[in-house]
Amino acid sequence: MRHLDYQRTIIAYHGCDESLVTRVLKTGETLEPSENDYDWLGTGIYFWEFGPDRAIAWAHELKKRLRVKKPSVLGAVIQLGNCFDLLDTRCTAMLQAAHRNYVCVAPKPFPANEKFMHRLDCDVINYGLPWLTKLFGIKFQTVRGVFQEGTPVFEDSDIRETSRIQIAVRDPSCILGYFKPRWIK
């Protein structure tokens, strides 16, 4: 399991309100982890890997929901560290094992995944990562997953318009620094 320590640094983007960008950059305020029971990758600070356009689109969606006033993007340099990478078959195999254990111990009925509300995925990851830490002695600092979303880019294509790679940072020390992209006014 030693090879799950990713010596990889990425650029990632967080869609949010301009006031948060200002506070983080000027005062050093830290981002709070999302703890929604429907978050795809469990608890963490969410970013789009190399996805600034997705981040600003998300910020505009949050404005429609009245959760931000002025949509903006906060860039981050992230060292993935011990990454539970769902693009790595070792991690998906571990997630399957965690799920098998989860169904034996979790209270029923289990939460369900419905459209964009991934309550079961969230519950299994939030249960599974501490369980895997006990089993293997690895504390996962980040979770990385790819999600296909949107309509096909052309007829019979499996490529989707709004697919993305998302990162959930569970250990804030993996965030090496923040920046404001130049194209954000």
Give the tens place of pLDDT for each residue, 65-123.
999 999 999 999 999 999 999 999 999 999 999 999 999 999 899 999 998 889 999 99
Instruction: Measure the CA–CA gap between 112 and 73, rounded to whole angstroms.
Output: 31
Cα distance from N-terminal residue to C-terminal residue, the chain: 43
Residue 185: the pLDDT is: 66
Given a cut of 90, whether residue 4 has pLDDT beyond it is no
My answer on whether omega of the bond before 109 falls inside 30° of 0, hence cis, is yes
Given a cut of 80, whether residue 27 has pLDDT beyond it is yes
Given a cut of 60, whether residue 1 has pLDDT beyond it is no
The phi-psi region of residue 34 (left if phi > 0; otherwise alpha if psi is between -120 and 50; otherwise beta) is beta
Given a cut of 80, whether residue 2 has pLDDT beyond it is no
User: Count of CB atoms within 10 A of residue 8's CB?
Assistant: 13
Instruction: Quote the pTM value.
Output: 0.93
Which of 35, 55, 48 shows the shortest CA–CA distance to 122?
35
Helices 89-105 and 119-136, axial angle in degrees (round to 10): 100
